[in-house]
Amino acid sequence: MTNGNGAPSAAGAPPQLNVLAQYTKDLSFENPNAPSSLTPQPTPPQINIQINVGANNLAENEYEVTLSVEGKAESAGKVMFSFELIYAGVFRIVNVPPENLHPLIMIECPRLLFPFAREIIATSVRDGGFPPLMLDPVDFVGLYRQNMERQAAAAQAAQVKPS
């Protein structure tokens, strides 16, 4: 058997990534200043979004990946709405080299979860009386690199710590 370039393919089975489950772990939407927050505002609200990714090993080859999205819209110093969503999935990952496993879990798994989390947030904001909030796509590779750099800097600072 060849790999398409005329060279023999690796003897091992191909890598597999399966989604076993997806679910909302936590969802909160607050509209603390309604109904006044629902009236037309003189300026568009300032919207701040934070996204984090976490993972837990559940069993051999099975991982729970959580995508945490928090957001707040403010106008004239008042909160118009805020939300918090923790959306998760259970993934089975087999035949992936160990050096590729962590990036796969922290980049590809949240990338698969994101469209579903985005829809939940848009619907929640719409049901709260506002236009749907359509989150921009997320660069999970960039987010992964930032987290790895932050962890490396923290580890280096811990080693240099004076006694």
Integer Cα distance of 144 and 125 in angstroms: 27
User: What gap in Å lies between CA 28 and CA 41, rounded to an integer?
Assistant: 24
Task: Tell which residue, 106, 140, 136, 142, has the closest CA to residue 121.
Answer: 136
Inter-residue contact 36 to 50 (CB < 8 Å): no
pLDDT of residue 41: 83
Q: Are 71 and 82 in contact (CB under 8 A)?
A: yes
Indicate the DSSP class of residue 35: T
Q: What is the pLDDT of residues 55-98, one digit of tens each?
A: 999 999 999 999 999 999 999 889 999 999 999 999 999 999 99
- Cα–Cα distance measured from residue 152 to residue 36, given in angstroms and rounded to the nearest whole number: 46
pLDDT, tens only, 124-150: 999 999 999 999 999 999 999 988 888
Alpha-carbon span 140 to 130, nearest angstrom:
28
- Which tens digits make up the pLDDT trace of 4-29? 554 444 557 899 999 999 999 999 99
